[in-house]
Homo-oligomer: A and B are copies of this chain.
């Protein structure tokens, strides 16, 4: 099968020196990619420069992206030509519109005017004590996947922080339905440490708990290839 995996975290530029980054090492995506490669599948990994990656292999293609916009452009053709998407990348949900001195906000009667401004300088000045950054929502790529390829098996991820199991599963099921995903891997930041990665494979039938990155990879492999 042709397996498409995303890993790492995107960065949205504020200017040429600063950006808003979603932190993700890429270890989980690497582990999943290596398992599918070892089983003889063809893997395309869409990731970022700073993420850890598998060693080069004949069956492995790697595409590097930077921000949500470049991810969106890369994904559409790739989704159309793969059988499975395992979408573990940490994607920026907001992107900068305009950064300015706090005084400009104070001097503006209607703050929504500032949503239409943009920075022209390559490095925004850093003279004032307080600054304000306006951001807008990025497109949700996962919601477009089944439009691009209705036959792809879609595995999404839902990361929350310090919530109850009930709320975590509820959010995962909402994502499952909204994005027509086959599985949502639900996890909580509070349960991820260097030696442990508790996650729940959530589908319409129930939740399967696993406790390490390699167990997540193994469980996904079994669901995708044998269910």
Partner-B contacts on A (CB < 8 A): 11, 14-23, 50, 90, 92-94, 97, 102, 105-106, 111-112, 115, 121-123, 126, 128-137, 159-162, 189-190
- State the CA gap A135–B159 with chains docked (Å): 25
The residue of chain B having its C-beta at the shortest distance from the C-beta of A14 within the complex is: B20
- In the complex, the answer to whether A160 meets B23 with C-beta atoms within 8 Å is no
Contact of A111 with B106 at beta-carbon distance under 8 Å, contacts A11-B21, A20-B20 already known:
yes
A102-B134, A123-B160 known; A19+B20 contact, CB < 8 A: yes
Contact (A130, B136) CB under 8 Å given A115-B102, A161-B16: yes
A192 to B: closest C-beta gap in Å = 10
Complex Cα spacing A126 to B171, Å: 13
Complex Cα distance, B18 from A92, in Å, reads 8
Q: How far is the CA of A97 from the CA of B102 in the complex (A)?
A: 13
Can you sample 16 A-B contacts with CB below 8 Å? A14-B20, A17-B23, A17-B90, A17-B189, A18-B20, A18-B92, A50-B50, A93-B126, A102-B112, A102-B134, A122-B161, A122-B162, A123-B161, A130-B137, A131-B134, A131-B136
Judge whether A126 and B134 touch: CB under 8 Å. Answer: no
A181 CB to nearest chain B CB (Å): 18
Provide the residues of chain B in CB contact with A122, threshold 8 Å.
161-162, 189-190
Cross-chain contact of A94 among B90, B111, B126 (Cβ < 8 A) = B126
